[in-house]
Amino acid sequence: MKYSDGGAADPLVEAFNINQAKALLRLLLENTDKAVGARCVLTPYTEGKVPASVKRYTFSPNAAYARELQALANDEVPEPPCGEWGEMPDGI
């Protein structure tokens, strides 16, 4: 993460050498409130440059959960919808 007012970048990626989506989902559910984790899906993470052989993922709200969050949106920066292991809202 890079802040618009300068300073060094903060690393925000936690890397695991896992080849199965089920294992990634299990990690999310073990580290996130179950009610929240159950409403999130594994999605490809496409930001930045990565080697062709590397696949990166994040957790995003499922369609129904995304609609609920959109309906609640206001001018405040919300909490991460899928906990600390998912996509993060941008305050900019």
| 15 found inside a domain | no
In a domain, 48, yes or no: yes
- Whole-angstrom distance, CA of residue 59 vs CA of residue 41: 5
HSE at residue 59, side-chain half, CA atoms within 13 A, is 26
CA pair distance 77, 26, nearest whole angstrom: 28
Domain range for 70:
21-85
Average per-residue pLDDT in the chain?
Answer: 82
Per the structure, how many domains does the chain have?
Answer: 1
Q: In this structure, which amino acid lies at residue 53?
A: S
pTM of the model: 0.67
Is residue 37 included in any domain, yes or no?
yes
Mean local confidence (pLDDT), 5-31: 75
13 in a structural domain:
no
pLDDT for res 72: 92
Q: Give CB contacts under 8 A, 24+ apart, made by 45-52.
A: none
pLDDT digits (tens, 9 = 90+) for 58-90: 899 999 999 999 999 898 888 889 988 888 887
